[in-house]
């Protein structure tokens, strides 16, 4: 692999001069810098990121930690993060899995945005105690090196249950997600509202995937419920699975089966009938998270923030 020693030899200059030129230092003339950059390009020189990080103490990269990349939820969120970071001349690397957590203590990234329920809160807190800058999107942790940009799950779930209660519902099937902040907060708020309205409910465990929605629909019919069947799916991906199963039956979605989702993903707009759902700006969520992590890195005074929700009408729950 070509190193700065090889460039220095080809250019007839010292190693320090090459280093200054590659890092944009004013200690070398523009003529010398252009000469060195030309030679570096001809030799296919690739900078050693680890070495540059040790020298400059910054990578200009933010790690975005996700539980997985499945489904259509993450694209808009990541686009928002990417756009937000670009304002500050930062880039992102998307990470998943336990081994990628090493990017934080090894300082291969300048900070992290975390939306990963498998990432333990204790581990996040320990990183914060060691001085790492972190923004969490899926849990409540208090530390001076952590900022929260949380979704208003309580408000969103409340909107859904109010819609259901207004339709004289007798019983609601709630399809939850995997153990984690978002699903737990939606369930907590939903149960509170249903008990307030005196509406019976049944809780089914899902995992935010289409297949778990399909399986839940089968389970619901096995209970021989009265019509109409009212379902609050804690995300739209599972609602798609509900649609696929019920459309194979004689039951009519929007009449015999009434469904409300959560997330307002793009595919929900093309379902027939159109899916009623809880919406929020995933793009803005990402942009705000990006802004917070850079401000935290720069030691600016910043507060936590919440992303608010709205109800989107659809014929799946008229």
Per-residue confidence (pLDDT) for residue 26, from 0 to 100: 79
pLDDT band at residue 52, thresholds of 50, 70 and 90? Answer: low
Does residue 50 surpass a pLDDT of 60?
no
pLDDT band at residue 21, thresholds of 50, 70 and 90? Answer: confident
When pLDDT is averaged across residues 73-82 and rounded to a whole number, the result is: 92
Does residue 60 surpass a pLDDT of 90?
yes
Q: Which residues contact 206 (CB under 8 A, 6 or more apart)?
A: 175, 176, 177, 178, 212, 213, 215, 216, 233, 234, 238
Per-residue confidence (pLDDT) for residue 210, from 0 to 100: 94
Q: How far apart are CA 280 and CA 31, in angstroms?
A: 52
Q: Do domains 57-150+282-307 and 153-279 have the same CATH topology?
A: yes
Does residue 178 surpass a pLDDT of 80?
yes
Per-residue confidence (pLDDT) for residue 256, from 0 to 100: 97
> Within 13 Å of residue 191, how many CA atoms lie on the same side as its CB?
11
* Contact (CB, 8 A) for 145 and 167: no
Per-residue confidence (pLDDT) for residue 48, from 0 to 100: 63
The CA distances from residue 10 to 13, 14, 36, 38, 43, in Å, are 8, 10, 9, 11, 9
> Residue holding tokens 């609602």?
239
- Taking every pair of Cα atoms in the chain, the longest distance, rounded to a whole number of angstroms, is 86
pLDDT band at residue 51, thresholds of 50, 70 and 90? Answer: low
- Domain 57-150+282-307 fold is Rossmann fold (3.40.50)
Q: How far apart are CA 276 and CA 269, in angstroms?
A: 9
When pLDDT is averaged across residues 75-101 and rounded to a whole number, the result is: 94
Query: Does the structural domain 4-47 have CATH classification 3.40.1710.10?
Result: no
- Each domain of the chain, given as residue ranges in start order, spans 4-47, 57-150+282-307, 153-279
Q: Among 3-7, 77-81, 160-164, where is mean pLDDT lowest?
A: 3-7
Q: Is the dihedral of CA 309, 313, 317, 318 positive or negative?
A: positive
Q: What is the mean pLDDT of the chain?
A: 92
Q: What percent of the chain has pLDDT over 90?
A: 75
- Determine whether 56 is exposed, middle or buried from the number of CB atoms within 10 Å of its CB (0-12, 13-18, 19+): exposed
Reported as a single tens digit per residue, the pLDDT across 223-254 is 999 999 999 999 999 999 999 999 999 999 99
Query: Does the structural domain 153-279 have CATH classification 3.40.50.2300?
Result: yes
């Amino acid at each position: 692999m070509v190193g700065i020693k090889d460039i220095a030899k080809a250019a007839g200059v010292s190693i320090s001069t090459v280093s200054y030129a590659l890092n944009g230092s004013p200690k070398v003339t523009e003529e010398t810098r252009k000469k060195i950059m030309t030679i570096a390009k001809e030799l296919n020189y690739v900078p050693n990121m680890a070495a540059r990080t040790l020298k400059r103490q910054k990578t200009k990269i933010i790690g975005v930690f996700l539980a997985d990349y499945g489904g259509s939820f993450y694209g808009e969120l990541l686009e928002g993060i990417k756009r937000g970071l670009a304002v500050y001349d930062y880039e992102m690397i998307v990470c998943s899995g336990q081994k990628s957590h090493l990017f934080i203590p090894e300082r291969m990234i300048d900070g992290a945005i975390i939306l990963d329920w498998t990432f333990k809160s204790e581990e996040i807190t320990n990183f914060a105690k060691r001085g790492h800058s972190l923004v969490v999107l899926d849990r409540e942790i208090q530390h001076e090196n952590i900022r929260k940009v949380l979704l208003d799950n309580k408000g969103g779930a409340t909107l859904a249950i109010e819609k259901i209660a207004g339709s004289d519902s007798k019983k609601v099937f709630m399809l939850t997600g995997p153990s984690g902040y978002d699903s737990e907060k939606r369930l907590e708020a939903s149960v509170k509202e249903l008990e307030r309205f005196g509406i019976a409910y049944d809780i089914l465990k899902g995992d935010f995937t289409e297949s778990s929605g399909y399986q839940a629909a089968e389970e619901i019919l096995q209970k021989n419920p009265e019509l109409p069947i009212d379902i609050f799916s804690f995300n739209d991906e599972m609602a798609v699975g509900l649609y696929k199963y019920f459309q194979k039956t004689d039951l009519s979605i929007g009449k015999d089966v009434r469904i409300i989702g959560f997330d307002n993903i793009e595919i929900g707009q093309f379902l027939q009938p159109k899916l009623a759902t809880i919406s929020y700006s995933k793009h803005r969520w990402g942009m705000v998270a990006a802004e917070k992590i850079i401000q935290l890195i720069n030691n600016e005074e910043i507060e936590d923030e919440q992303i608010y929700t709205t109800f989107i009408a659809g014929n799946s729950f008229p």
